Structure 1
């Protein structure tokens, strides 16, 4: 059942993103930012944690999950003061950001992308 819940919740998040792209004039980068900020705000309000416990990776892998990790790290680090709040978010998301940069670099090397003209 865990796989089903992860699939359903992750799919619902993706459907929301697709609906936003189809119905509004928002660009993809703006929708990505909305998702990250929404994940952080919902975490701060205590609403995203139950979703993570229910759907596990179905809620943590999509972009709201990045906002969740960022906010969760900042809230945990805030116990050590202001500097802890800043470094806590960075510590929680460092692995994901590093993986995205490294894999993006390798893909760029393999496929030699060209800029649009």
Structure 2
């Protein structure tokens, strides 16, 4: 059942993103910024936590989940380091995911021949 909930939540997030790109003619960069920002805002007002509790990885892996991690890290940073933690907490909370994306992206670029779009 946990897999089904993750699939549903992640799928709904992806459908919303696709509808924004198709219907509102937003670029993928606009959707990226919008989703990360919404993840932070929804976490700040307490709406995203229940979504994460219900959807698990379906809510934390997509782009709003990155905003969620940033917001949670900033809150934790403020509690441990004061005002400076507001700036450093989000970065440290999301650093594992960013580092993994860089390592795996570089590995794929080395293993496979990149081709330009035509």
- TM class by shorter chain equals over 0.9
Once residues 30 and 108 of structure 2 are traced to their aligned partners in structure 1, the CA distance between those partners, rounded to angstroms, is 24
- Counterpart position of 1:11: 11
Task: Indicate yes or no: 2:64 matched with 1:59.
Answer: no
Q: Which runs of 5+ in 1 are unaligned?
A: none
TM (norm. structure 1) is 0.93
Residues 74-112 of structure 1 deviation map (CA, whole Å, 9 limit, x = unaligned): 011112212112111111100000000111111111223
**Total equivalences in the alignment:** 117
> What is the aligned-residue RMSD (CA, Å)?
1.4
User: For each residue in 1:6-50, what CA deviation from the matched residue of structure 2 results, as whole angstroms up to 9, or x when unmatched?
Assistant: 111110001001111110121111101111110011001111001
Corresponding residue number in structure 1 for 2:104? 103
Q: Which residue does 2:77 correspond to in 1?
A: 77
Q: SS of the residue aligned with 2:104?
A: helix
Give the corresponding residue for 1:49. 49
Structure 2: 5+ residue stretches without partners: none
TM-score, reference length from structure 2:
0.92
CA distance in 2, matches of 1:4, 1:112: 35
User: Kindly tell me: are residues 116 and 9 of structure 1, through their superposed partners in 2, closer, same or farther at Cα, counting changes over 3 Å?
Assistant: closer
